[in-house]
Amino acid sequence: EAHATWWLVLTSINIFGMQLGFCMLEVGCATAKSTEVLIMKNLCDASVVALLWWAIGHEFAFGGGSVFVGFSPGAAFFGHTYSKADEWSQMFLQFQFAATSVTIVSGA
């Protein structure tokens, strides 16, 4: 279990590297004047997605489900029921995928 957790964390860090690559691609396609703005935009994208994924996204995506999408009794909104490292590492990996998709769309 520990090996799987570390693998998820390392994979998440690798996916975060994609975020940096997309940022550098955007900066390279723009004028030098826009560099700071583009870097801050990508930082804000990742920060907002991190907050929203932790608060509600993971439960909507992987919750038990009921009549309301993703909602279940004892739901893990705001990460309340996560107690093991593998749960947090899984959430971190899925956050990276969500953040990457937002970065791709915002840079288009």
Q: What is the pLDDT of residues 97-107, one digit of tens each?
A: 999 999 888 87
The percent of residues above 70 in pLDDT, for the chain, comes to: 80
CA dihedral (50, 52, 56, 62) positive or negative? negative
The region, left, alpha or beta by phi > 0 then psi within -120 to 50, assigned to residue 65 is left
pLDDT at 44 over 90: yes
| Nearest in space to 93 (alpha carbons), one of 67, 58, 42 | 58
Residue spans of beta strands (DSSP E) within 1-108 = none
Q: How far apart are CA 79 and CA 44, in angstroms?
A: 21
Expressed as residue numbers, the domain containing 80 is 2-106
Give the chain's domain count.
Answer: 1
Cα-based distances in Å from 80 to 55, 57, 83, 99 = 9, 13, 8, 21
Tokens of 87: 């749960």
Q: What is the pTM of this model?
A: 0.76
Q: What is the pLDDT of residues 58-81, one digit of tens each?
A: 777 776 666 565 555 555 666 566
